[in-house]
Amino acid sequence: MEIHSGKTFDVCVSSCRFRMSILAMKFSHGYYAPPKELKSENMKFLVAQIRMELGAEKQIQTIQQVVKKGVETGQRVFVFPELALPGFNREVVNISSKENHVIWTQTLSELASSHQVYVFAGLPRVDSSSVYNSFYCFKPDGEIACLWDKIGLTESEQCFFQHGDSRPAIEIEGMTLSVVLCREILDVREVTDSLSGKGVELVLWPSYIGWNLGETEQLRSDAAYYHEAKELAKTLGAAVVQCNWANGTNVPEATGLGGSIVISKEGDEIYHAPYDQPAVFEVTLSKTEELMAKPFSF
């Protein structure tokens, strides 16, 4: 199965509502600093390894259900996969329009503001004649805290998406984080160079990766992903948390998706979600305690 990835664009957006237009403001250092507040010692967030369906409306419904259920238990931060809208499949090429971009961003903006939560999710960003494989962070007021345009695109992605050019870091709930999209995890040197000195404590890894189950680790073609994810965690001294898709729709019978992994800053894998099925899990990142991850029951 082909593994998809993308490019990062140093855009942090402030004062953006999506009711009239999408405005992006580029910061020279790629770092969003929210208003000063008392920093928390812990950050809890839900990672949603959701099922891919055909049609953006079904994906929107799934995202809304996860957020609604999580809010009922006090969750404030939600993470969804690469191209969570409209889903990572061949239809992306046909429906990535400016009109849909406005609709999807406004939908996620309203979801975040109505529940007063952070929503991290991937969707195609349309800018003039260019389309980017992007990953957004919506704040509790519905505005965009930051977005990442995928830099390390696969060969097939390069036929449609444009490369990003930077990798910002942001502070959420007292923790500094950034994003690596799918196969970008293999670009350890580039990622390390772009994030060094920014004090990153968490790397989110939204993905669409098929794992080669049943092979010995030495023979698995995906072994490099495990290795480089662990190396990145150790090099940056940051936890790496993957959010993979539970399945694919281009080849519905394909297996080996899901299995989202959580890696500590020491490079140890402490959790992985089930393969080939939807799953939601809670991650607790602490400045003083060990990284924790556990299944979240709906």
What CATH number is attached to the domain comprising 41?
3.60.110.10
Residue with tokens 């698995």: 220
Look at residue 230 and tell me if it is in a domain.
Answer: yes
Express each pLDDT in 171-223 by its tens digit.
999 999 999 999 999 999 999 999 999 999 999 999 999 887 665 554 455 67
Look at residue 8 and tell me if it is in a domain.
Answer: no
Secondary structure (3-state) at 231? helix
| Reported confidence tier of residue 10, pLDDT bands at 50, 70, 90 | very low
Express each pLDDT in 255-270 by its tens digit.
889 999 999 999 999 9
Give the orientation angle of helix 98-115 with respect to helix 56-72, to 10 degrees.
10
Q: Is the pLDDT of residue 70 over 90?
A: yes
Mean pLDDT, range 30-53, rounded to an integer: 74
Which residue type, as a one-letter code, is found at position 172?
Answer: I
Please report the pLDDT score of residue 40 as a whole number.
63
> CB–CB of 280/298 below 8 Å?
yes
Look at residue 215 and tell me if it is in a domain.
Answer: yes
Return the CA Rg of the chain: 17
Pick the closest to residue 147 from 139, 160, 137, 132 (CA basis): 137
What's the number of domains the chain is made of?
Answer: 1
Cβ neighbours for 41, distance < 8 A, ≥ 6 positions apart: 174, 286, 287, 288
Look at residue 10 and tell me if it is in a domain.
Answer: no
Look at residue 72 and tell me if it is in a domain.
Answer: yes
The DSSP call for residue 194 is H
Q: Which two tokens stand for residue 237?
A: 């001294």
Look at residue 265 and tell me if it is in a domain.
Answer: yes
Q: Which two tokens stand for residue 288?
A: 């003083």
Structural domain including 248 reads 31-295
Stated pTM of the model: 0.85
Q: Is the pLDDT of residue 252 over 90?
A: no
Q: Is the pLDDT of residue 23 over 70?
A: no
Look at residue 9 and tell me if it is in a domain.
Answer: no
Q: Is the pLDDT of residue 9 over 70?
A: no
Residue 57 half-sphere exposure toward CB, CA atoms < 13 A: 0
Phi, psi values for residue 206, rounded to 5°? -65, 135
- Give me the count of residues in the chain: 298
> What is the average pLDDT score of the chain?
87
Look at residue 17 and tell me if it is in a domain.
Answer: no
Express each pLDDT in 77-136 by its tens digit.
999 999 999 999 888 989 999 999 999 999 999 999 999 999 999 999 999 889 999 999
Q: Is the pLDDT of residue 68 over 60?
A: yes
- Lowest average pLDDT, out of 23-32, 61-70, 107-116, 262-271, goes to 23-32
- Lowest average pLDDT, out of 6-15, 149-158, 184-193, 213-222, goes to 6-15
Q: Is the pLDDT of residue 28 over 50?
A: no
Which residue type, as a one-letter code, is found at position 38?
Answer: L
Give ∠ CA 4-131-201 in degrees, rounded to 5.
55
